[in-house]
Structure 1
Amino acid sequence: MKHRITPLRFIQKNWLLVGILICILLAGIYPELGSKEGPLRTEYTVKYGAVFLIFFISGLSLKTEAIFHTFQRHKLHSFIQIFTFIFIPIFTQAFIRIVSIFRVNVWILKGLITVACMPPPVSSAVILTRAAQGNETAAIFNSILGSFLGIIITPLLLLFNLGSTTVVPLLDTVIQLLTTVVIPLVLGQGIIKFTSFRGHTLPLNAVSQCALLFVIYTTFCDTFLVPESGMSALDVIFTVFSVLILQVILMFLSFKFASSMKKHFDAQDIIAIVFCSTHKSLTLGIPILRIMFHGYSHLSQISLPLLVYHPTQIILGGLMVSQLKDWVHSQRVKRPPV
């Protein structure tokens, strides 16, 4: 007998998605509250509060042996980084050649290429992987690795694809990764190793997802406050649809490619691959765009695809978490006993 899906049951199963939609609604009503330099001081409360908390909880939750084992998964890391920095830029070049026949604003097309060259973010992919019961350790490692690689690779990709380059703020990026990712992870691991605290009675997963919702809320607040000067409604509509189609295709391809390599990747690895290999960083991307195109009258058009890509990847991820979690469970049931 099948259980009837009640609204309460749906919310319980998909509460992260419901939370994301509520965050979007609240951000649209009063975006100034959660914007940078707004009353919530998100330049500090997000970076050194919510993101720090997310990775501190990860440090409390991960087994040290699993971390060292994951570090040695060279094929897994290579797949994610190659998909991120090689496959996506090549595929996006082919994608914009197709959509350019519709005489789209050339600066928006340049913005799509710029997005393709960006490294992964360090928070959303990790939390979505954890929420879908994927390989969280692999997600953390590859988010950090991708961010460091992006310091070198992203300017080279921009030079190759656009004929222009920039200098990524190396010191600022390294300090940010250390203070918001590495240090909280080490603190969490230190507490597990040197104290009796294990956190089994605390809702750590729910707390980390609430921290992610705060990050999402502030992201949308900033997005809603971006001026749309120089853009027609058609430009905005095309950007939203093209980014959505591009992301769906990339997530589908990463899932299919990884699933075809079941000899090397299990279901949890594939979840980490789907999120880590297709997500792009807004935090590093916006400063790069402002350095590259400072003084350009077309900066808003170039920035629009990245501003759309970041929240879209979170919404798509929220939509997929419940289905991917069910898929992981189904794969465990199918797995033959050792």
Structure 2
Amino acid sequence: MSNTLRSPSPPLTTVTGDSKHLDTAQAHTKADAKPRKWYHPVTVLGFLLDNWFLIGIGVSIVLAWRFPNVASDGGVIRSEYSIKYGAISLIFLITGLTLSTSSLYNQIKNWKLHLFTQGFSFLFFPAVVFAIVNIVNAAQDQGESQSQGGKGGGIDQYILAGLIVMGIMPTTVASNITMTRLAGGNVESATIEVCIGNLIGAFITPLLCSAFFSSDTWSFGRPRASDSGGSTADGLREIYKQLAKQLGLAIFVPLFVGQIIQNVFPKQTKYVCNKLRLAKISTFFLLLLIWSVFSTQFENRAFESVSTASIIFLVFLNLGLYAAFTLLCVFLTRLPFLPPTLASQNTLSALDQKHSVPIADTNESLGRDRRRSWRKVVHSFRFNKAESTAICFCAVAKGMVVGAPTLSILYGGLPEKQRAILSIPLVLYQGQQVAVAQILVYFFKKWNNKPDKYFDDAPSPASKSQTLPIVNKGGRGSGGSAEIRSEKSRDA
């Protein structure tokens, strides 16, 4: 009896050559599992590779400051042709080669995604910026306010006008898709919103610019093309003529050609895109555009023409706008103030209609139905985490791929220095949004790795309680009624 209760002794182990090698391998594995110091060469190299775009922006600015005559308009490389046509054309050619036509078609049908993203980017964003700019302009004391283009202690009026122009520009191209991919968001949603935003931005931006600068207070900021006449109609006609020429050759044609090549030679195109890493090359061309824009500003001494207060104001305002709008996008796309689902409410209403006393007041019943229908409409605008991530990176961003040539066309009739000052808010916002987005990628990635309580397929506790009693489907009494209630709740 005692032998049966005795626990078996562990088997004897013999040390052999294989076990020694196994212990050595485990020791190496434990050593490798230890986190490296931050100054370890591999850690430093990984950090540089992960943030190469942000580092590239810094290098581009330093090169533009040190050698402004190389990439400025009319400089050594003639950037008004080589970059504003060549580099932008290659960016959209690569976009056409890498963008799946089937995914593009599927995402085009998602009209709620387009309505929210483009409405936020072209309507809500510029309206808020316009309100802030008017408050700042009105708050400036008459003695400290600056003359147009002059240097003083207040905020330069062309900086304020540049903020309005920045607000109506379309989203950026390469960085949005990259950040969405790194954060675990919906890359197809980000890609289609980038394409739609930059395509319709070429037509919407001039109209919004004319509308925001229509008052006498902002008359100096009205768009004027280089060859436009005196009337507003002639100016808009000339602006659209130049936009159709430059943006058509630099955006629409390369994008269309890329889509044709991808559908005619799908396997070869996919192999070349993966082998040559065309997405990285597209981002490099964006750095060339940033280099060119900063070179033009340093060549015209745009930063020296405005006050220090203007630059400080821009930096903090850009950070505040990007952070506040990102949080607002998360709130509006997830709607946390609403219940996770309407199924429980619909189930209760169906059970009340069957088992409770009929409601005598028909007006109260109609009001309940209207509220329920409005809840359904609002719930339909709740996006999953992946789509919400794409919206946050696309709706809040402003880019220079289309923004820089559009601004140069809108204000081609202004002197070069004033045009350079107008572009300062857009240029600074582009760089700051990339820096902040690099930080937000970490938080969005952790957020996307968690379960989505609004869109998970797991049954709710109410549905579990309804389906648990159904053991014998052929039974009588409560089992059958529970099955009927479960079916009614699913129908509801």
TM range (shorter): 0.7 to 0.9
Aligned residues of 1:219 and 1:311 also touching (Cα < 8 A):
no
CA displacement 1:136-181 (0-9 Å, x = unmatched): 1221122211222223333123226956444341011122222112
Indicate yes or no: 2:143 matched with 1:143.
no
Please point out which of 371, 382, 390 is paired with 1:271.
390
CA distance in 1, matches of 2:277, 2:217: 46
Given the superposition, is the C-alpha separation of residues 322 and 110 from structure 1 closer, same or farther in structure 2, using an over 3 Å criterion? closer
Q: Report the equivalent of 1:258.
A: 333
Shift of 1:109: 6.4
TM-score between both structures, scaled by the size of structure 2: 0.59
Report the counterpart of residue 300 of structure 2 in structure 1.
Answer: 226
Q: Which has the larger radius of gyration?
A: 2
1:331 pairs with one of 448, 452, 472: 448
- 1:251 deviates by 4.0
Q: How far apart are residue 8 of structure 1 and its match? A: 1.2
Instruction: Return 89-98 or 206-215, whichever deviates more.
Output: 89-98
Distance change (3 Å), C-alpha of 1:331 and 1:282: same
Point out 4+ residue stretches in structure 1 off by more than 6 angstroms: none
Q: Does 1:114 align with 2:173?
A: no
Alignment of 1:54-203 (within 5 A): 54-96=91-133, 98-100=135-137, 101=139, 103=141, 104-105=154-155, 107-108=157-158, 110-112=160-162, 114-115=164-165, 118-120=168-170, 125-132=172-179, 133=181, 134=187, 135-159=190-214, 162=217, 164=219, 165-166=222-223, 167-168=235-236, 169-195=239-265, 196-197=267-268, 198=270, 199=272, 200-203=274-277
Q: How far apart, CA to CA, are the structure 1 residues paired with 2:420 and 2:293?
A: 14
What's the C-alpha RMSD, in Å, of the aligned pairs?
A: 3.2
Deviation larger for 59-68 or 228-237: 228-237
**Greater displacement, 182-191 / 58-67:** 182-191
In the aligned structure 2, how far is the partner of 1:245 from the partner of 1:76?
A: 25
Amino acid at match of 1:83: F
Measure how far apart 1:326 and its partner are. 6.5
The answer as to whether partners of 2:73 and 2:296 remain within 8 angstroms in 1 is yes
CA contact (8 A) 2:334 2:384 kept: yes
Give, in whole Å, the separation in 1 of the partners of 2:385 and 2:60.
33
In structure 2, do the counterparts of structure 1 residues 203 and 182 end up closer, same or farther at CA, with 3 Å as the change threshold? same
For normalisation by structure 1, the TM-score amounts to 0.83
Matches of 2:77 and 2:104, distance apart in 1:
34
1:193-222 C-alpha deviation (Å, 9 max, x unpaired): 112412232211211111111111112111
Where does the alignment leave 5 or more consecutive residues of structure 2 unmatched?
Answer: 1-33, 142-153, 182-186, 224-234, 336-378, 459-492
* Higher-RCO chain (CA-CA 8 Å, sequence separation at least 6): 1
Select which of 10, 27, 32 maps to 2:64.
27
Deviations 1:37-88 (A, max 9, x none): 1111111121222111111111111111111122222222222232233212
1:62-121 deviations in Å (ceiling 9; x for gaps): 111111122222222222232233212331243235545354446246415532553315
Q: Deviations over 1:285-337 (max 9, x none)?
A: 2443454xx48xxx83x863532332332342244146427724751563547
Q: Is the 8 A contact 1:255 1:273 kept in 2?
A: yes
What percentage of residue pairs aligned between the two structures are identical?
22
